[in-house]
Amino acid sequence: MPERYHDLRQVKGYQTHIDVDNGVVESTGTSFFDETVIRALGPKGWGVVILDSFDPDAGNMEHAIEEASALALMTQEEITLAPVEYGGLPVPPLTEDPVNVDIEEKIHLLLAVEKAAKRAEVKNTRATYMERNEEVRFLDLSGNDEHYQVTRCGFSVMAVAARGDVMQMARESHHTIRGFNLRHQSEQGDKAGCLAVALLDAVPARGGRQRVVLDPELGGVFAHEAVGHASEGDLIKEGNSVLQGRIGEKIGNATLTIVDDPTLPEFGFEPVDAEGARVHRTEIIRNGNVHAYLHSRETAAAVGYGTPGHARAMSGDIPQVRMSNTFIEEGDASFEEILAECRDGVLLIGSRGGQVDPGKGVFLFNAEYGYLIKGGECADMLRDVSLSGEILSTLHTIYLIGSERKMHQGYCGKGGQSVPVSDGAPYLLLQDAVVGGSESE
Amino acid sequence: MRWWVVVNPSDRILRYGEKRIEEVEVFSVGGTALSVHLKGRVIDNAIITRTWGMGIRTFEKGKIGFSSTSDPGRWKECLEAAIASGKVATPQEWGGLPERRELPSRASTSDPAVSPEPDIVLPLVEGMLQGAEAYPEVRITGGEVDLFKGEVDIENSRGVEYQAPRTRVSLSLETIKGDSTGYEFDTSTFLDVHPSAIGNKAAFLAAHGALGGGIQTGDHEIILSPMASAQLIGQVVIPALSGRNVHAGRSRLAKLRGKQCMDLGISLYDNPFARGLGSTDWDAEGVPARRIDFINNGVLQQFAYDLKTAYRYHEESTASAVRSGFGGSPSIGAHNLILEGERSDIFEERALYVHDIVGAHTANPLSGDFSVELANAYWMEGDEPGEAVRQAMYAGNVFDMLRSIVGMGKESRVVGSLILPPLRIPAQRIIGA
């Protein structure tokens, strides 16, 4: 039963977590994983076998490929694979390898971050630490045999404030691939505590169309949700994206460039993609025009306009076209100019997540808090405010782009898989956006 | 001949562990799944997943350790890692793991008709495609059918040794017409799913939405589908009912025990023996499962506890420990959370029907405040779908929303760990685009 192609991706390693809650070490532990995905491309589509604790060198590889090939006979989609450049990037060195830090010291440092969030009116504090070490091996029919090891770690701290019946929460976090990051982080706890208390006096937003300023974190989520997902080659191939067939079309102003770049040493870094392809920077939007899509080998062959290198997979799962480090390039406006140009509107800060329907072209994301802008200056604090819009019309409303970009880390879910990503942007001014809030006009 | 096999090492772990520490618990999950994914109307890939993994908890002088592995050969390393993690945990009051009891089998957790076989998967795929053919102008963009058959085991050093077979059938279909999208799904323990109805509904939603118009910003009477309300209730209410969050000051319901928090005709309870996806005779710590009446006729009665939280706050476990797999410690959750009340024809009078929402995970789990985007919303009048609303947001508060329910539809639907009917709610803030 000849397969046209096969590959294997094995991810093994450990994950350590610490959870402290109001000064108590609620749980800590280390878990071990070893998951292997074997794909075979049959006469039409893919057959895949996913196994735990599989040793590709122990003589079972042929059985697995045979089983995957047999499964491939169930498929009818005629898949071809685009050629790729192989070769991985070096993984950026760790400033301090977390494996060399005792669990007791990690707990001590995490408790210090959590303690810094405590103050009057803060009723509960909680902090978590996560450390994940992955050894990845990729083999394919062409004889490629890639190995790399990457360690991701990070923490989050949350404060809950209450006054009477009003309760609010705030959260700060930082995750990285550059090494142990729990030292000297008390100010993150302090920030979460201050913000939770301040939110007790915040007011709900007024719903409706308004001018909106996005901070770099939320601007990054905007790039990710509104543009990044819609540029994913699998959605383009399925006809489930409003960016399908729009290469070369102007959908934003000439200063707007949106990029996905897995080569950056940020949280979404990949030394090589999940199909063994060399990773590279892709400009999705260049100077306001749709320029390229993100691709796997399958979608690059089917759709074009871009090259493979954007396939990613959670351990024990199949490759999907995914973003990595997604951002809006810097413009030249200062924050003060952006506020002054906005005059009256809302400034939205921080992200509580977002979601997009790429086929309909509608996105939504939620800010952690915000401020009313009155006469070009920040006024009342706002809580529970979100922003939605249509991708194609909203990009045209980006009127000013700030000059300083910051990246923030998170996890992105798609098709049941969650992968580490980072997003970023400078401050952005949107001339006309739909803000969700429960207050009447 | 099988070329892949797992030998569960639980017995060896318990025997070895008992010499080292006071108590040990081994929770394992294993099974085989067959999944096929559609691209357009054809199958793009077929996947067999064989998984097995175990989570070990250790208990010594009130210190709880945890580790997990998917490699049975590394059980000793996993046990040592659990013991090591317990050494750095904060000690707490601990009254011991549950002892073995003879449990009558009341929960249906599997269906012998479900097996990860191509001859079961393919008719389900075909059924969805046929159902969608009622709307030939609608294009299918993707879909999925999964069949899982496996087993969940828990053993502890007090003699608990429970096993439960598990099966699961999941189907979903995504559709599009122009820039109007549709999505419908079903998940069941049993082979009682209706693939044709799923395909038909997914295609209808895309077709109907393509004719959508706008909506005036204001307060509107709405009907929330089980799919829409389950996302908001799951994000906000289940955490608020957790005893851990109640005692930690993270629940808005903490001060409402004994007080009215919903309409007097409405109850909210967890029934692990109901026909749902969380059906079980024992919770994720081996405590015998039981019904929990959280809100009885509008009045908040009790909160959910696992063993750890119950011992810490001198409460009784409500057998509410759940696990999402073998890789994590148990947490407090719901098995089959059921919203119940008097049923009526809530579709008779005009209201905005909200089939789905976008962004429910951004709702504030503490305050309950949310603002989400509507998906597949349309006016209903006299049981007939009317004009669709193309784009609008919905903002409010989940607790206030539940207090405002004025009607419950006749048929409940299982959505994850919730079983809910459609809900009619007046004066909800809709923001037109």
Same domain membership, residue B146 and residue B34: yes
pLDDT at B352 over 90: yes
Chains A and B form CB pairs within 8 A to the count of 273
pLDDT at A438 over 80: no
Q: Would you tell me which residues 333-352 of chain A have a C-beta closer than 8 angstroms to some C-beta of chain B?
A: 352
Domain end (from B172, B198, B224): B198
> Do the chains contact at B433 and A434, CB–CB below 8 Å?
yes
pLDDT at A191 over 80: yes
- What is the pLDDT at residue A388? 87
Domain end (from B173, B198, B223): B198
Round to whole Å and give the CA distance between A36 and A49.
8
What tens digit of pLDDT does each residue of B415-432 get? 999 999 999 999 999 998
DSSP B56-120: EEEEETTEEEEEEES-GGGHHHHHHHHHHHHHTSPP-----PPPP-----------TT--S-HHH
Print the domain residue range for B413: 211-433
Q: For chain A, how big is the Rg over CA atoms in Å? A: 23
For residue A393, give the 3-state DSSP assignment: helix
Residues of A in contact with B327 (CB under 8 A): 31, 33
Residues of A in contact with B46 (CB under 8 A): 45-48, 71-72, 74-75
B281 lies in some domain? yes
Q: What is the CATH number of the domain that holds B75?
A: 3.30.2290.10
A265 interfaces chain B, CB cutoff of 8 Å:
no
Same domain membership, residue B192 and residue B274: no
Assign B191 a pLDDT band (cuts: 50, 70, 90).
very high
> Do the chains contact at A360 and B85, CB–CB below 8 Å?
no
> Do the chains contact at A32 and B67, CB–CB below 8 Å?
yes
Average pLDDT over all residues of chain A = 95
Q: Hey, what are A102's tokens?
A: 């005792």
B247 lies in some domain? yes
| Nearest chain A residue to B142, by CA | A238
Same domain membership, residue B262 and residue B312: yes
From residue B422, how far is each of A182, B26, B44, B150, B391 by CA, in Å?
Answer: 47, 40, 35, 32, 21
A397 interfaces chain B, CB cutoff of 8 Å:
no
B20 lies in some domain? yes
Same domain membership, residue B171 and residue B225: no
Mutate to test the interface with A, among B24, B27, B39, B308 (most CBs of A within 10 A): B39
- What is the pLDDT at residue A364? 87
Assign A439 a pLDDT band (cuts: 50, 70, 90).
low
From residue B365, how far is each of A127, A352, A362, A373, B380 by CA, in Å?
Answer: 17, 11, 24, 27, 30
Pick from B51, B65, B362: CB nearest A366: B362
Mutate to test the interface with B, among A195, A238, A390 (most CBs of B within 10 A): A238
Mutate to test the interface with B, among A67, A104, A362, A430 (most CBs of B within 10 A): A362
| Nearest chain A residue to B140, by CA | A238
DSSP B180-201: EEEEEEEEESSS---HHHHHHH
What tens digit of pLDDT does each residue of A68-89 get? 999 999 999 999 999 999 989 9
Round to whole Å and give the CA distance between A112 and A115.
5
What tens digit of pLDDT does each residue of B206-263 get? 999 998 889 999 999 999 999 999 999 999 999 999 999 999 999 999 999 999 999 9
Same domain membership, residue B343 and residue B291: yes
Prediction pTM value: 0.94
- What is the pLDDT at residue A386? 87
> Do the chains contact at A240 and B181, CB–CB below 8 Å?
yes
> Do the chains contact at A354 and B362, CB–CB below 8 Å?
yes
What tens digit of pLDDT does each residue of B37-95 get? 999 999 999 999 999 999 999 999 999 999 999 999 899 999 999 999 999 999 999 99
Phi then psi for B304, rounded to 5 degrees? -100, 135
State how far residue B232 is from chain A, nearest Cα, in angstroms.
Answer: 15
Domains of chain A, start order: 5-201 (3.30.2290.10), 204-436 (no CATH)
Same domain membership, residue B316 and residue B185: no
pLDDT at A3 over 90: no
Same domain membership, residue B120 and residue B89: yes
Assign B2 a pLDDT band (cuts: 50, 70, 90).
very low
> Do the chains contact at A60 and B4, CB–CB below 8 Å?
yes
HSE (CB half, 13 Å, CA atoms) of A303? 30
pLDDT at A354 over 90: no
Domain end (from B165, B198, B231): B198
Round to whole Å and give the CA distance between A406 and B285.
44
Same domain membership, residue B300 and residue B162: no
Q: Which residue type does A92 have?
A: P
For CA atoms B383, B386, B388, B392, the dihedral sign is: negative
> Do the chains contact at A240 and B174, CB–CB below 8 Å?
yes
Phi then psi for A265, rounded to 5 degrees? -75, 50
Same domain membership, residue B294 and residue B427: yes
State how far residue A142 is from chain B, nearest Cα, in angstroms.
Answer: 21
In terms of Cβ atoms closer than 10 Å to its own Cβ (0-12, 13-18, 19+), residue B16 is middle
ipTM: 0.94
CA-based nearest residue to B369, from B407, B347, B397: B397
B205 lies in some domain? no
Q: To which residue do tokens 């006054």 refer?
A: A163
Round to whole Å and give the CA distance between B133 and B231.
29
Q: Hey, what are B339's tokens?
A: 């919203």
Round to whole Å and give the CA distance between A258 and B293.
51
Assign A173 a pLDDT band (cuts: 50, 70, 90).
very high
Structural domain tally of chain B? 2
Query: What percentage of chain B has pLDDT greater than the value 70?
Result: 98
Same domain membership, residue B143 and residue B218: no
What tens digit of pLDDT does each residue of B113-131 get? 999 999 999 999 999 999 9
Per DSSP, which regions of A205-291 are E strands? Answer: 208-214, 258-260, 282-286, 289-290
Same domain membership, residue B256 and residue B167: no
Round to whole Å and give the CA distance between A139 and A61.
11
Q: Which residue type does A151 have?
A: T
A94 interfaces chain B, CB cutoff of 8 Å:
no
